[in-house]
């Protein structure tokens, strides 16, 4: 179990959002493929 939150670079966040916008996949599917929690991606 993690004891501290993971840090993501601004570039990673931008790439994740771009991926979400250019695919027909759901937020949950994209988050799983990136290894990010659904709520984390949703809040970006």
Instruction: Note the pLDDT of residue 1.
Output: 63
- How is 1-44 classified by DSSP, letter by letter? --SS-----HHHHHHHHHHHHHSS--HHHHHHHHT--HHHHHH-
* Residue 2 confidence class, pLDDT cut points 50, 70, 90: low
| CA 43 to chain CA centroid, nearest Å | 9
User: How is residue 11 written in tokens?
Assistant: 């570039």
User: How is residue 21 written in tokens?
Assistant: 């916008």
Q: What is the pTM of this model?
A: 0.80
User: How is residue 42 written in tokens?
Assistant: 């949703």
């Amino acid at each position: 179990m993690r004891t501290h939150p993971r840090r993501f670079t601004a570039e990673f966040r931008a790439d994740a959002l771009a991926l979400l916008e250019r695919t027909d996949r759901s937020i949950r599917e994209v988050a799983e493929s990136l290894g990010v929690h659904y709520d984390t991606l949703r809040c970006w």
